[in-house]
Amino acid sequence: MGVETAIETARASFNGANHLLEIDDLNVRFYTERGVVQAVRGISFYVDQGETIALVGESGSGKSVTAQAVLGLVDAPGRITGGEIRWKGESLSAGHGGWDKVRGKSISMVFQDPMTSLNPLMTVGRQIGETMRRHLGYSRSAARRRTLELLGLVGISAPGERVDQYPHEFSGGMRQRIMIAAALACEPELLIADEPTTALDTTIQAQILELIADIQTQMSLAVLLITHDLGVVAGLCERVAVVYAGKIVETGSVDNVFALPSHPYTTALLGSVPRLDMPRMSLKPIEGSPADMVNAPPGCPFHPRCPKVTEICITDEPPLARDLRGREVACWHADNQPA
Amino acid sequence: MTRFLLKRLRQGFLVVLGVTVAVFIATRMVGDPARVMLPLNATPEERTHFRDELGLNDPLPAQFSSYMQGLARGDFGESIWQRRPAIGVVIERIPRTFQLVFGGMALAVLLSIPLGLIAAIAAGRWVDKLTVFFSLLGLSIPQFWLGLMLIIFFGAQLGWLPTSGVGTWKHMILPMVVVALPAAGRMAMILRSSMIDELKQPYVRTARAKGLSRRRVIGTHALRNALTPVITLGAWELIRALAGYSVIVETVFAWPGLGYLAKQALDQHDLVLLQAVVLVVAVLVTVINVAVDVVYRAVDPRTRLV
Amino acid sequence: MDQAVEKPLVPPRYVGPGPLRRTARGIRWLAREAWKDKVGLLGLLVVGGLLFVAIAAPLVAPHDPTAQSLETRLMPPFWLDGGSLSYPLGTDALGRDILSRVIFGSRTSLLIGVSVVLVAGAFGTLIGLWAGYKGGRTDSVLMRIVDTQVSFPGLLIALLILAVIGASAQTVIIALSINGWMVYARLVRGLMLSLRESLYVEAAEVIGCKPRRVIFRHMLPNLSSPLLTLGILEFARIILAEAGLSFLGFGIQPPATSWGLDVSFGRDYMFAAWWLVAFPGMAISVTVLGVNLLASWLRIIADPQERDKRFARGVPGGG
């Protein structure tokens, strides 16, 4: 194992393909009374320096669990049951304390609900500053000075006054800006944004996304965006991975995947979103309900809801295979499959 | 802040007024004080004289107005048992009760916070189950019995501690333990459950994602939030101890505080004195309630908006 | 965000087949749950034991609890020198059998506990329903009364009442009910406020159900589980309160038996005959502990989140 990992790492660096973050065959299970929920079933992907990648899927598809697993934040009754998470070639998931070196420092995270993701009894200034005091050894006054800068950077006016206020004195959008400021405190290389705009008003959503995009170019930050909102993906990301029932069903460049979706689920997902460029297109909801993650059906996980379903879809599971345009799709009816 | 204080004081005044009226109803309308206070062999002349002296033959509204006027002047009547103003007898006893109640509550806090914290962190494991069991046991044992058993064991059998009364610091140990134990059990249980809830909150996940130490995530972020219900309960416990348990605990240990005074007044059929005790306790409870609200505002910034 | 989506359209409590089959199924389910959780089982056994002993007291008690005999006074428990198996827990200063007195004392605790819970619970629930359903001024006035009463020095007022009207089982029930109804009113009113918001109550009102029907048919059933838990917890508290009042001499009066009363009898002899104090007090402690264990177990099985957490712990390495 050790030797193999070493060889793998050596090969990766030789190829010059040492990704910033690599997820390899990740499996996460939740042990509940109703049975074992297989939330993530063998997801693999990577993030390179400075790029933006999106994980897209319905709620319950396993995308948020994947994001939490990257930082080792999966709580009981959930557990990472297989696979590896590597940061610059080094495993975070194997052994103890792997995450301690990166959490909040090289990788930071912004969560969905800015109302509850900030500690209600602590001033926002202290919540931003404590990360720097922990990881960079800043003094109280140095942390405060940097906090004021960060508040300005994320667009909070009058930072000098607001730094000593409590979260309930801010609006939802403002709180999300504060979350972002706290995430940027130690100048991380990767920002994981787990549905950062879902809990916000539409107008505020756009502002927050713009802020993330700005900061990304300023700080040459890689962003892993978790969302169910395809509109957000189109505006912000280079690559996208579509997640269904704990698996990636299609991945590739955003332009490719959105223009000509290959997997029926991606097609359906795109069909259920209003599009400004095709105002006359009618919206089609996806038939059926999301897959049962306790008793996953055999074959393709999407087959109970798929319009193109045939015999093989019910019996055999399609592998994720590269197609002619360089993207990967897991569907027997995509043009990449030998069948 | 001043407006808030005034509002709370006004509410507190209403409570005291309510107690005053309740006491009046209980003593004058429900029962016959003459029957309660005089010995069974009292002659009819003695009874008439007694009723005249206390103004019990006047119509009720007149009785009520003279009762309220007396209270407004700080005149609580003369203790029948002690033959001097009741209020003086009551005030003398306050320091002893405060010593017992505040000491006991401090002990309860010292016991309950580590217990509740350990139980919450180890939720579901045997440490947790043991803590829960002992907390439940602590709040299930009647205090008078616990007191007597401790007296039998530590006072009589082992001879380590005095069995009753006041004097040295040794006299304080057993009564304080008895006051503290049920409160500590309840506070540990509340802290445990609120801590389990807080540890599930998104802000705790945020703190972990920031790479903060486990100690800081639990001790600073989650614990401060989990303590707010404990403060509420602690205030309630303080009030219960002052206005209730002190009667039992002080009686068991012959501890000369307000509670023991209430029991003595009852035994002496001295309703005037008992009434004074009840009213003074109501005032103390009100003052504590206001103080707790002030503490609460200092702890939780969200309440400052109101 | 559309908040309406969150509201349940169907009452959360599932009302399925007829009452008899439902009860049978409920009992089987409870038995299974109790077997899984040994602490809950212990609570259930203690409470079951209390019920049995209280009902069958004349059959299980070896002696008449009031029968005095001066030859056998202050006998120690059977395992000590001078003890006898015919008085397993010894005798008191009047030669009465302690075991029999403990057995008969359970009747008092049960009677007072159940009565106070029923009286205070019914009154408090009604007030809470009224305040929660009406809302507005009615609600704020009623809740102000509740708040005021909660801040009362409860036990002292109870003592005052008992001193004036004279202590007996009935007056103890009255005094403790006056002290105890507020918690129910608060709980019910709080739950009502959240229930009023749910769609099925709105639906019932839209189709023209009368207020009384909406309250009693649609809302009250959803309150039964929290009310039951509160009632059980209050039962434990009332047993302690009755024992305390009786210990002080302002509760149950002789010749009636009560555990608290027996402890106070034994107090005069406690250095010479500790068993007079020890056994009745132990009976109170075990009973109250059992009731508390039962209540905390019921709360866990009624809460799906708690159940999941407990299950997850059974998985090796999970956590």
pLDDT, tens digit (0-9, with 9 covering 90-100), for B39-49: 667 777 877 77
Instruction: Give the pLDDT of residue B260.
Output: 93
Mean pLDDT of chain A: 83
Q: What number of residues does chain A have?
A: 339
CA distance B231 to chain A (A): 15
**Structure tokens belonging to residue C33:** 């749950």
Residue B306 reports pLDDT greater than 60: no
Residues 6+ apart with CB under 8 A from A130: A143, B210, B212, B216
Instruction: Give the pLDDT of residue B178.
Output: 94
Pick from A294, A73, B262: which is nearest to C153 by CA?
B262
What count of other Cβ atoms lies within 10 Å of the Cβ of residue A112? Answer: 20
**Quick check: B291 contacting C, CB < 8 Å?**
no
Instruction: Give the pLDDT of residue B1.
Output: 66
Which chain C residue is nearest to residue A199, measuring alpha carbons?
C1
Instruction: Give the pLDDT of residue C8.
Output: 41
Q: Which DSSP letter does residue A14 get? A: H
User: CA A125, A128, A134, A135 torsion: positive or negative?
Assistant: negative
**Residues B222, B224: Cα–Cα separation, whole Å:** 6
**Which tops the pLDDT comparison, A264 or C83?**
A264
Instruction: Give the pLDDT of residue A151.
Output: 93
Residue C150 reports pLDDT greater than 90: no
Q: Do residues C98 and C92 touch, judged by C-beta distance below 8 A?
A: yes
Write down which chains contact chain A via at least 3 CB pairs under 8 A. B, C
In order of A16, A321, C145, the CA distances from B13 in angstroms are 78, 77, 13
Residue labelled with tokens 């990166």: A102
Q: Which residues pair with A103 in a beta bridge?
A: A107
Which DSSP string corresponds to chain C? --GGGGS-SS-SS---S-HHHHHHHHHHHHHHHHHH-HHHHHHHHHHHHHHHHHHTHHHH-SS-TT---GGGTTPPPTTSTT-BTTBTT-B-TT--BHHHHHHHHHHHHHHHHHHHHHHHHHHHHHHHHHHHHH-HHHHHHHHHHHHHHHTS-HHHHHHHHHHHH--SHHHHHHHHHHHHHHHHHHHHHHHHHHHHTSHHHHHHHHTT--HHHIIIIIIHHHHHHHHHHHHHHHHHHHHHHHHHHHHHTSSS-TTS--HHHHHHHHHTTTTT-THHHHHHHHHHHHHHHHHHHHHHHHHHHH-HHHHHHHHHHHSTT--
Which chain B residue is nearest to residue C308, measuring alpha carbons?
B124
Which range (B53-67, B257-271, C263-277) has the least confidence? B53-67
**Which region holds residue A42: left if phi is over 0, alpha if psi is between -120 and 50, else beta?**
left
Instruction: Give the pLDDT of residue B191.
Output: 93
pLDDT mean over A17-42: 86
Instruction: Give the pLDDT of residue C9.
Output: 42
Instruction: Give the pLDDT of residue A9.
Output: 53
Q: Are strands A107-110 and A190-194 parallel, antiparallel or unpaired?
A: parallel
Residue B200 reports pLDDT greater than 70: yes
- Are C315 and A32 an interchain contact pair (Cβ–Cβ within 8 Å)? no
Residue A48 reports pLDDT greater than 80: yes
Q: Do residues C284 and C259 touch, judged by C-beta distance below 8 A?
A: yes
Instruction: Give the pLDDT of residue C315.
Output: 38
Instruction: Give the pLDDT of residue C314.
Output: 39
Which range (A199-208, A330-339, B89-98, C239-248) has the least confidence? A330-339
Residue labelled with tokens 């063998």: A42
Residue A269 reports pLDDT greater than 70: yes
Residue B58 confidence class, pLDDT cut points 50, 70, 90? confident
Q: What number of residues does chain B have?
A: 306
pTM, to two decimals: 0.82
Residue C305 confidence class, pLDDT cut points 50, 70, 90? low
Q: What are phi and psi of B235, to 5 degrees?
A: -65, -45
Residue B99 confidence class, pLDDT cut points 50, 70, 90? very high
Instruction: Give the pLDDT of residue A5.
Output: 56
pLDDT, tens digit (0-9, with 9 covering 90-100), for C284-294: 999 999 999 88
* Residue C256 exposed, middle or buried by CB count within 10 Å (0-12, 13-18, 19+): middle
pLDDT, tens digit (0-9, with 9 covering 90-100), for A144-196: 999 999 999 898 988 989 999 999 999 988 999 999 999 999 989 999 999 88
3-state secondary structure of A10: helix
pLDDT mean over C137-141: 85
In a mutagenesis test of the A interface, which of B128, B210, B218, B304 is the best target, namely the one with the most A β-carbons within 10 Å? B210
Which range (B113-122, B205-214, C296-305) has the least confidence? C296-305
Nearest Cβ partner of B142 from C39, C155, C281? Answer: C281
Q: Which residues pair with C91 in a beta bridge?
A: C97
Residue A338 confidence class, pLDDT cut points 50, 70, 90? very low
pLDDT, tens digit (0-9, with 9 covering 90-100), for C5-62: 344 444 444 444 555 666 777 777 777 777 777 778 888 899 999 999 999 888 888 8
Instruction: Give the pLDDT of residue B304.
Output: 67
Map A148-198 to HEC letters: HHHHHHCCCCCHHHHCCCCHHHCCHHHHHHHHHHHHHCCCCCEEEEECCCC
pLDDT, tens digit (0-9, with 9 covering 90-100), for B218-240: 988 999 999 988 888 888 889 88
Percent of chain A with pLDDT over 70: 87
Most confident of B122-131, B252-261, C151-160: B252-261
* Residue A165 exposed, middle or buried by CB count within 10 Å (0-12, 13-18, 19+): middle
pLDDT, tens digit (0-9, with 9 covering 90-100), for C84-136: 778 888 888 787 888 889 899 999 999 999 999 999 999 999 999 888 877 78
**Structure tokens belonging to residue B61:** 């509204």
CA distance B27 to chain A (A): 48
Instruction: Give the pLDDT of residue A192.
Output: 94
Residue B243 confidence class, pLDDT cut points 50, 70, 90? confident
Which range (A194-203, B193-202, C23-32, C160-169) has the least confidence? C23-32
**Structure tokens belonging to residue C317:** 């390495």
Instruction: Give the pLDDT of residue A273.
Output: 66
Residue A285 reports pLDDT greater than 80: no
Which chain C residue is nearest to residue B280, measuring alpha carbons?
C153
Mean pLDDT of chain B: 85
Q: Do residues C24 and C213 touch, judged by C-beta distance below 8 A?
A: no
Q: Which DSSP letter does residue A262 get? A: -
Dihedral angle, C-alpha A303, A306, A311, A316, nearest 10 °: -30
- Are B124 and C313 an interchain contact pair (Cβ–Cβ within 8 Å)? yes
3-state secondary structure of A296: coil
In a mutagenesis test of the B interface, which of A103, A121, A133 is the best target, namely the one with the most B β-carbons within 10 Å? A121
Which range (A91-105, A207-221, B103-117, C200-214) has the least confidence? C200-214
ipTM of the complex in this document = 0.85
Residue A17 reports pLDDT greater than 70: no
Residue A28 confidence class, pLDDT cut points 50, 70, 90? very high
pLDDT, tens digit (0-9, with 9 covering 90-100), for B1-41: 677 788 878 878 887 888 888 778 777 765 666 666 666 67
- Are C311 and A76 an interchain contact pair (Cβ–Cβ within 8 Å)? no
Instruction: Give the pLDDT of residue C18.
Output: 57
Question: Using a CB-CB distance cutoff of 8 angstroms, which residues of chain A are in contact with residue C1?
Answer: 199
Pick from C87, C85, C63: which is nearest to C74 by CA?
C87
Which chain A residue is nearest to residue B205, measuring alpha carbons?
A73
Nearest Cβ partner of B281 from C156, C244, C284? Answer: C156
The runs of H, that is alpha helices, within A220-263 are 230-236, 254-259
Q: Do residues B193 and B186 touch, judged by C-beta distance below 8 A?
A: no
Q: Which DSSP letter does residue A273 get? A: S
**Residues A223, A235: Cα–Cα separation, whole Å:** 13
Residue labelled with tokens 């320091």: B95
In order of B33, B34, B48, the CA distances from B44 in angstroms are 15, 11, 6
**Which tops the pLDDT comparison, A86 or A33?**
A86
Instruction: Give the pLDDT of residue A95.
Output: 67
The runs of H, that is alpha helices, within A15-73 are 63-70
pLDDT mean over A236-253: 89
Pick from C276, C277, C243: which is nearest to C260 by CA?
C243
* Residue C72 exposed, middle or buried by CB count within 10 Å (0-12, 13-18, 19+): middle
Instruction: Give the pLDDT of residue B300.
Output: 79
**Structure tokens belonging to residue B258:** 């307000």
**Quick check: B123 contacting C, CB < 8 Å?**
yes
Instruction: Give the pLDDT of residue C200.
Output: 66
In a mutagenesis test of the A interface, which of B204, B206, B220 is the best target, namely the one with the most A β-carbons within 10 Å? B206
Residues 6+ apart with CB under 8 A from C5: none
Residue labelled with tokens 């007056």: C171
Q: Please, what is the angle between helix B223-240 and helix B271-299, to 10°?
A: 170
Which range (A298-307, B270-279, C25-34, C224-233) has the least confidence? C25-34
Residue C66 confidence class, pLDDT cut points 50, 70, 90? confident
Task: Determine what percent of chain A falls in helix, strand and coil, rounding each to the nearest 5.
Answer: 35, 20, 45
**Residues C219, C216: Cα–Cα separation, whole Å:** 6
pLDDT mean over A126-148: 92
Residues 6+ apart with CB under 8 A from A80: A26, A27, A28, A69, A72, A74, A93
Percent of chain B with pLDDT over 70: 94
**Structure tokens belonging to residue B47:** 């009874």
Q: Which amino acid is at A152?
A: G
Query: Which B-chain residues 147-176 have CB contacts (< 8 A) with chain C?
Result: 148-149, 151-152, 156
